[in-house]
């Protein structure tokens, strides 16, 4: 019983995000791109860390200030194939983001999603595939849940999730 209580206490102390944060769309002014330089024509945004992100989920197109169309939802294995094809067609190399790269762009003072809505318009609150492999074997993969920005490496790799793209 003591071990169980200790484990619960450690889990609660280990949480670094507040519950009940304001919606990012409510606290971000319309022209505030935060730590990004945005190219409104090409639908890309460069973070101060140097990473370049496509502003819409894979399968969507950036038009005006919005992402239009439906995001593709693919298994982890299909994500790699989709990105290869996308890279070939665009003439630029793209890939899945690494956990640390994703964590750098998360907003800490708001959530639902924990991304700047001016940089990533209309992004769906969901789990998104990450580049890292799961240490739990090939039946699992890593994902980022963008409601509050938590990663999870025990995601069944055969379920369909959306993807965000980062320039390689």
pLDDT in tens, 59-108: 999 998 899 999 999 999 999 999 999 999 999 999 999 999 999 999 99
Q: Which residue has the tokens 């800490």?
A: 108
In a domain, 5, yes or no: no
In a domain, 96, yes or no: yes
In a domain, 76, yes or no: yes
Which pTM value belongs to this model? 0.85
Residue segments in the chain with a per-residue pLDDT below the cut of 50: 3-18
pLDDT at position 64, please?
85
In a domain, 130, yes or no: yes
Query: Structural domain of residue 111, as residue ranges?
Result: 20-167
In a domain, 2, yes or no: no
In a domain, 144, yes or no: yes
pLDDT at position 7, please?
43
Q: What is the CATH number of the domain that holds 109?
A: 3.10.100
In a domain, 6, yes or no: no
pLDDT at position 39, please?
92
Distance from C-alpha of 63 to C-alpha of 162, rounded to nearest angstrom = 19
- Compute the CA torsion angle 84, 71, 163, 45 (nearest 10 deg): 90
Domains in the chain: how many in total?
A: 1
In a domain, 1, yes or no: no
Distance from C-alpha of 78 to C-alpha of 73, rounded to nearest angstrom = 9
């Amino acid at each position: 019983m003591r071990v169980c209580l200790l484990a619960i206490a450690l889990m609660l102390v280990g949480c670094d995000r507040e519950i009940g944060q304001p919606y990012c769309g409510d606290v971000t002014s319309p022209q505030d791109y935060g730590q990004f330089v945005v190219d409104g024509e090409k639908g890309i945004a460069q973070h101060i860390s140097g990473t370049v992100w496509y502003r819409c989920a894979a399968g969507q197109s950036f038009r005006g200030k919005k992402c239009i169309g439906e995001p593709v939802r693919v298994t982890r294995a299909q994500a790699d194939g989709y990105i290869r094809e996308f890279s070939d067609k665009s003439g630029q190399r793209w890939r899945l983001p690494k956990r640390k790269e994703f964590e750098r762009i998360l907003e800490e003072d708001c959530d639902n999603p924990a991304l700047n809505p001016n940089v990533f318009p209309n992004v769906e609150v969901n789990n998104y595939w990450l580049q890292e492999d799961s240490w739990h074997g090939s039946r699992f993969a890593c994902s980022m849940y963008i409601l509050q920005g938590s990663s999870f490496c025990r995601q069944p790799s055969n379920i369909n999730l959306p993807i965000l793209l980062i320039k390689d």
